[in-house]
Amino acid sequence: MNLLLLTKLNLKKSRPAGSSVVNSNKGERTYLIGGNWKCNGTLAENEALISTFNEAGPIPDNVEVAICCTYVHLPQLLATLREDIAVGAQDCAVYEKPGAYTGEVSAAQLKDLGCVWVIIGHSERREGFGMAGEPAELCAKKCKVAVDAGLKVMFAIGEKKEEREAGTTMAVCASQLEPLAKVLTAADWDNIAIAYEPVWAIGTGLTATPEMAQETHEAIRKWVADNVGADIAKKLRIQYGGSMKGANAQELLAQPDIDGGLIGGASLQADFFNVVNGVPK
């Protein structure tokens, strides 16, 4: 079975359909709940989690759900995860065309495989894992390449603890958004979600209060309105990331400018569906 999962050419045909349930609270933006599995999972562990998600019941019809996994596990999810959960990658190459880029995976290859989403600009990649991190300009260029290849992008931004304490949260976010605004067209923004992830809250158990998160989300939307366009800002989905889980999702998602979440640890558990079902009813 594992060999079949890894070699299957027509990946989508075996995926269970999933189902939706009507949610009367339909605002101007559909909620986006993304799971970031990071560098976790084996084929066996994923099989168990996928089974849990496939049996988790219907997804509210005002929610879009996606799981972003490692490159090596993309075929497994594309073959077996329910169809109403989109599959995405956690990064892509900055190069537009194939070539001599050992170890890289292009946006076009991800699209060809069947991916819908890709995460760009996560703080862990910006920081660099002990190597040179990815500067804002590189993240912006990757985003443009991904959109041009037909992918949707969850573009992550956020400040460190010392920057929050210094009162420069929005200045940091703006510095990460400015290169993006320079390379995207107005049409490109239809395929972008901004994932605000305060770095100090990622994987730490710390979470911005709903009021803190809303304040920053509102400021991000205002920045986009002022620097890109009011119509784009109104439609733009801004996710919150940073230890969101079932226990706090409902209060966070009730905020007017929080349009979903980019979920780390909780996306590796059944609790992920508590987040999905935490959208306002």
Q: Is 73 a catalytic residue?
A: no
Provide the pLDDT for residue 281. 86
Provide the whole-model pTM. Answer: 0.93
Q: Is 197 a catalytic residue?
A: yes
d(CA 88, CA 71): 9
For the chain, which domains are there? 31-277 (3.20.20.70)
Token couple for 56: 């988790």
**pLDDT mean by block of 10 residues, the chain; 281 residues:** 45 78 82 98 98 97 97 98 98 96 98 98 92 95 98 97 93 98 98 94 81 96 98 98 93 97 97 97 86
Which residue in 64, 134, 159, 197 is the catalytic one?
197
d(CA 129, CA 133): 7
DSSP string, 72-118: GGHHHHHHHS-TTEEEEES---S-SS--S-TT---HHHHHHHT--EE
Which residue in 73, 122, 134, 159 is the catalytic one?
122
Provide the pLDDT for residue 25. 76
Report the half-sphere exposure of 248 (CA within 13 A, side-chain side).
19
Provide the pLDDT for residue 24. 66
Provide the pLDDT for residue 221. 98
Provide the pLDDT for residue 11. 53
Provide the pLDDT for residue 4. 45
